Structure 1
Amino acid sequence: MNNYQSWNEWINQVMKRIQDQQQTIDQLTQQIEHLQSQDHPKTVIEKIEYHFDQLKIETLEGTLQIGLTPNGMDAGNIEDLYTPQPSQEKHDAALEELTKNGVPLDIDHYAAEYGIPLSNQHRQQIIDDINKQLPERYAFYKKQQPNLDSASIVEKLQQEIRRSVAQYFTQRGGDQE
């Protein structure tokens, strides 16, 4: 075998390989042309812009929870924090007195004692939140201990309010301006 014959074979192999590759390229080109000629539905997503600074909150509703839970304990799950609307039952004069005078006095006393700044609006929000919860808490104690008189229940509520107000101010503080 001489070099000519081996070179000749090598060139033939290379040529054969080039021809095979050219056929593959031609087939792929035909497939591409075929796919491009078909009509495919096109999805066009235009530019999406979010302007968070333009959001406007018309009303913000809810209940400000400041920690009125049984025995001053933390709630275990989200259902424990839900405060259903109090029933329309009328409670006695002691509860009304607590609502009108006791709650504001406790808040004012705690804020003054610890030098916590408190705006009138913030003070009123706290008072309103506590007052909304009092009828339900009253019913809770009445159901838990039916033989308690209303003065004892109001006293328990007063203690609970003091703990809750103290806990609220300890965690949050006064007005932060």
Structure 2
Amino acid sequence: MRSIAGLWRWRRNPLRRVTDLVEAWVALTAVLLFAVATPATGWICGTLIDSSLQRTARLQHEQRHRTTAVVTGPSSERHRDAFDTESASTHEAGSRVTATWRAADGRTHTGTVSAPLRAPRPGETFDIWADEQGKQVRGPMNGTSARVHAILAGFGSAALAAGLVESLRRLIVWQLKQRRYKRLDRAWAKAGPDWGRTGAGS
């Protein structure tokens, strides 16, 4: 709004100063940047981040697989965790259990893993995600989550660019005002001693 308000200095006026005209150009430039550069920055950043996250999601889907784990014994350690990144909600308190599962290469693994079970009993099964070495990992990022993160990053980049433009505009306007004050001080120092005296041009 202040950028638009600065455009009034374009009007012809015998009292218009050079700094007023410069301020008008600064305001016009800021408006154009807000209208063009800011959304372009958000779109470019969002597109680049989306492309990167989509590649990461595809890579995770290639390197991770879902398998079934069988509980062989409980563990005393309990914690809260999101066992599947495809779900937006967090599971209730899970358990650390000793279980066996089959990796992608067909080998059977045994170890302590996180299980979304309140009271695990031997023989119960649950799904886990495992990497190529058979170690339990979080589920791979899906395309929708990647797109949402990219959109948020794009909006954040656009807001940051807008803030930068406004900060630069304010800095330039502040410098112009300081220059006006200095000129006014010099003019007053020159005319002040003779102000109001007869024959001094007042």
Query: Structure 1-normalised TM-score?
Result: 0.24
Higher relative contact order (CA 8 A, sep 6+): 1
Scaled by the length of structure 2, the TM-score of the pair is 0.22
- Higher share of residues assigned strand: 2
Question: Which structure is higher in helix share?
Answer: 1
